[in-house]
Chain A
Amino acid sequence: MCLAIPMKVISIEGARAVVEQAGARRAVSVGLLDEVNAGDYVLVHAGYAIARVDEEEARHTLELVKQLAGPLDEPQGRPPGPVEGAA
């Protein structure tokens, strides 16, 4: 599970934001996110924004996909790294 699609934040008022993607627009709660600005893309699930979509990372993933000649025994995703403040 779950269906969540990226939508662009158009405006924010308190814990509510108006988001839009390709001809569709909705009001959602951004109360689950620490920081959100107009222009950000967020993942919308069940009427709530659950994460911001990172443009850099998106580009990075697409580049990795293109690097098909790369050595296969190297880790290719985002490295786990130290985890701060994990619950």
Chain B
Amino acid sequence: MSEDLHAPSGDIYAPFGDIILLSHGAGGQLMAELIDRLFVAGFDNPVLRRREDSGVIEIAGSRLALTTDSFVVTPVVFPGGDIGKLAACGTVNDLAAAGAQPAAMAASFILEEGLEQALLRRVVESLRAAADEAGVAVVTGDTKVVPKGAADTLFITTAGVGLVPPNVEISASAARPGDAVLINGGIGEHGAAIMCAREGIDLQLDIGSDCAPLNRLVGALVEAGCDLHCMRDPTRGGVSAALNEIAEQSGVCIELDEESLPVAPAVQTACELLGLDPLQVANEGKMLVILPQQRAERALAAMRGAPYGAASTVIGRVLDGPAGRVQLRTAIGPTRIIDRPVGEPMPRIC
């Protein structure tokens, strides 16, 4: 690959071949490749090969959605929430993306030596409150303590299970030309809030993370009989990563309208100042919904009447091709391609 481009000495620069970088966890191209080449290939089975947010398996005539997530966010407490709230919402939302209501949750804690118990208590309370809101209980868990420096304050790993209702066939490969693309509100809020809270960025935004449980919103959609094709909560890598994955797996082109993209002014300012693209910034309280155009009005009504859905709107459409592409119709006219982000978003000055 790249070896023959450099002097053949011992210390060859192999850009992405040999060690794990932070960018491998950022939800973009590098992470997708790592998952594909190492985990999907390594664990190889039909359910995993579908590459959905939750694994859906058949048990005793029912479809069970199973999901797992790790939460390693820094700072642990941020505007709009904390790692506990994030853990509950992230798990619930992964199940919701499969159309499932959460039936039970597990939560494992890895605690760094020296962690203040008051902080831990706060995190547990937040997790509990968010789980309560979603109507799910933490029925089992685990606790480990590691030496100082081996974990950044605390890590939480969760698992969640839920039943997928009959007549719900949601999949990342189910988007079809003619479908509408909807979202329940402003993009980029979580990632912007986290980055701006970081030491050295120090940008105060008038909004915080959008972290929220979306199972009731999804429940409303299922109940309204919306013939849902795809759903995805656009976390790391933002809307761009999520839609690129769907476009690729469904073999379609997804087109967004810049003028319809909801972006809160604070997020817009933060992104302009730091050189970020809101489409690549993480969300924790948003759900992308792809469904037949004829059902869009019905879906909007259902979403707007549900918690966290008041600002729901159509942001684009699914086209025939070119397959695997995501494109944006700019407000001033020309259309450009939205690539999957490569790695982690970083503030720029150029």
Q: Do A and B touch (CB < 8 Å)?
A: yes
Residue contact B349 to A24, C-beta cutoff 8 Å: no
Complex Cα distance, B274 from A21, in Å, reads 13
Whether A23 pairs with B264 at a CB distance below 8 angstroms is: yes
Contact A3 B273 (CB under 8 A): yes
CB proximity of B268 to chain A, nearest CB, Å: 6
Per the 8 Å Cβ criterion, residues 305-350 of B in contact with A are 348-350
CB nearest to A21 among chain B residues: B269
- Cβ of A25 and Cβ of B203 under 8 Å apart? yes
- On whether the beta carbons of A3 and B272 are closer than 8 Å, the reply is yes
A2 with B349: CB separation less than 8 A:
yes
Within 8 A of B (CB), among A6-63: 7, 21-27, 44-46
Question: How many of chain A's residues touch chain B, expressed as a range?
Answer: 10 to 19
Residue B205 lies at the interface, judged by CB distance under 8 Å to chain A: yes
Residue B178 CB within 8 A of the other chain: no
Once A1-B350, A3-B272 are accepted as A-B contacts, the answer to whether A23 and B206 lie under 8 Å apart by CB is yes
Interface pair A24/B350, CB less than 8 Å apart: no
Rounded to whole Å, the gap between the CB of B143 and the closest CB of chain A is 39
Return chain B residues, CB-CB under 8 Å to A27.
202
A52→B196 CA distance, assembly (Å): 24
Q: Which chain B residues border A65 with CB–CB below 8 Å?
A: none
A64 at the interface (CB under 8 A from B): no
Inter-chain contacts of A22 with B (CB < 8 A): 265-266, 268-269
Asked whether, in the complex, the Cβ of B275 is within 8 Å of the Cβ of A23, the reply is no
Query: Any chain A CB within 8 A of the CB of B204?
Result: yes
A46–B349 contact, CB under 8 A? yes
Which of B204, B266, B267, B273 lies at the interface centre, i.e. has the most chain A CB atoms within 10 A of its CB?
B273
Query: In whole angstroms, how far apart are the Cα atoms of A26 and B204 in the complex?
Result: 6
Residues of B within 8 A of A21 (CB): 269
The answer to whether A23 touches B265, judged by C-beta atoms less than 8 angstroms apart, is: yes
Q: Are B269 and A23 in contact (CB under 8 A)?
A: yes
Of all chain A residues, the one with the shortest Cβ separation from B275 is A3
B residues in contact with A45, CB < 8 Å:
349
Question: In this assembly, does B83 line the interface, its C-beta being within 8 Å of a C-beta of chain A?
Answer: no
The residues of A that contact B275 with a CB separation of less than 8 Å are: 3
Contact A26–B266 (Cβ < 8 Å) = no
Chain A residue with Cβ nearest B274: A3
B273–A5 touching, CB < 8 Å? yes
The answer, yes or no, to whether B270 is at the interface (CB within 8 Å) is yes
Chain A CB within 8 A of B137 CB = no
B203 is contacted by which of A1, A3, A26, A46 (Cβ under 8 Å)?
Answer: A26
Provide the residues of chain A in CB contact with B196, threshold 8 Å: 24
Centre residue among A7, A22, A24 by max chain B CB count within 10 A: A24
Closest CB of chain B to A11's CB: distance in Å?
Answer: 13
Interface presence of B207 (CB below 8 A): yes
Q: Which among A5, A23, A46 has the highest number of chain B CB atoms within 10 Å?
A: A23
State A1–B242 Cα separation when bound (angstroms): 30
In the bound complex, residues from chain A placing their C-beta under 8 Å from that of B272 are: 3, 5
Taking the nearest CB of chain A, how far is it from the CB of B83, in angstroms?
24
Query: Which residues B189-226 have CB closer than 8 A to chain A?
Result: 196, 202-207
A83 to B269, CA, bound (A): 34
Interface residues in chain A, defined as those with a beta carbon under 8 Å from any beta carbon in chain B:
1-3, 5, 7, 21-27, 44-46
List 5 extra interface pairs beyond A22-B266, A23-B206, A24-B270, CB under 8 A: A3-B349, A7-B269, A24-B265, A26-B273, A45-B349
23 contacts between A and B (CB under 8 A): A2-B350, A3-B274, A3-B275, A3-B350, A5-B272, A5-B273, A7-B269, A22-B265, A23-B205, A23-B207, A23-B265, A23-B266, A24-B196, A24-B273, A25-B203, A25-B205, A25-B206, A26-B203, A26-B204, A27-B202, A44-B273, A45-B349, A46-B349
